[in-house]
Amino acid sequence: MQVESKNKLKEVCPYELESSNCRHCCPESAPCVAACPKGAIYEIAEGVLAVEYDLCNGCGKCAEACPHSAITIKEGKAFKCDLCLSVFDEPQCIASGLAEIKYTEEEKREIWDALGWAFFENGEYSVDLPAISFWEARILKEVVDRYTKLRGEFTWEEVIDGLEYERGTIKRESKERIMWWIKKTYEEYGPLSFLQQEDIEEIATVRLRDPIRVYLRGKGWRETNLAFWNGEYFTNVVNRFAVSVGRRINLKNPRVNAVLPDGSRLHAVVPPLSSGHA
């Protein structure tokens, strides 16, 4: 992951950095981590390094070791970009439009893993979706994990409030985006929620991670920029439809073929009857 910054970064950065040169190196091989004699540089989140200021003595060895000139020494402490995770906030340089994050394919997959479904940049039939940041996707995944462990004893909002109590305030805008994605993903039908237009006559998905296809009236089949990313999530979405007619798909009953209350037909097959999901 790389943050590409523009001018005036210092005005919004909580650490008053003049540039965001940090490449967020792998913690196991990051030169700054190896150079710090106090162990003050730590992994605050997967793939993101931060400075523990109580341990930092401002010796500057981390700054000397960094090949990207991404660490600044001032007032006896080292400062570097940590995507604002140490202050539990959305990266201010990005929120203000002064910088942008370019995600690697691996990081995109992590976002899709958190959702259970994927959205690509292009498709023959493209759906525009609100942006979700890498930081928000991490919070979303943590909220979902906690909600699942609590077995529905608390609402989504209560789980987020509990996370805030432990970690610090989440900005209202970020919380609203996270809740939007949670509701679309876990209370509605994920990618299928965005494929309900009148000109779509049929929806088909043959294999996980392949684009979902739609049949457009008068135009034929088109690939979308959406896909189911994991089998468990696909099965959960199928069952949200199937429950309305008293059906359920699982390992013992890996096929469902039913007419839904609105007259549409649901046909789905999962392993072991299929090599993928359809």
CATH 3.30.70.20 is the classification of domain 2-101: yes
Residue 179 CA to residue 95 CA, distance in Å, equals 18
Ranges of each domain in the chain: 2-101, 105-189, 192-269
Burial string for 146-182 (b: 16+ CB within 10 Å, else e) reads: ebeeeeeeeebeebbeebeeeeeebeeebbebbeebb
Q: What is the pLDDT of residues 43-80, one digit of tens each?
A: 887 668 999 999 999 999 999 999 989 999 999 999 99
Q: What is the pLDDT of residue 5?
A: 52
What mean pLDDT is predicted for residues 114-123?
Answer: 91
3 pLDDT higher than 70: no
Provide the whole-model pTM: 0.67
Q: CA 140, 145, 151: angle at the middle one, nearest 5?
A: 125
Q: What is the pLDDT of residue 41?
A: 95
CATH 3.30.450.370 is the classification of domain 192-269: yes
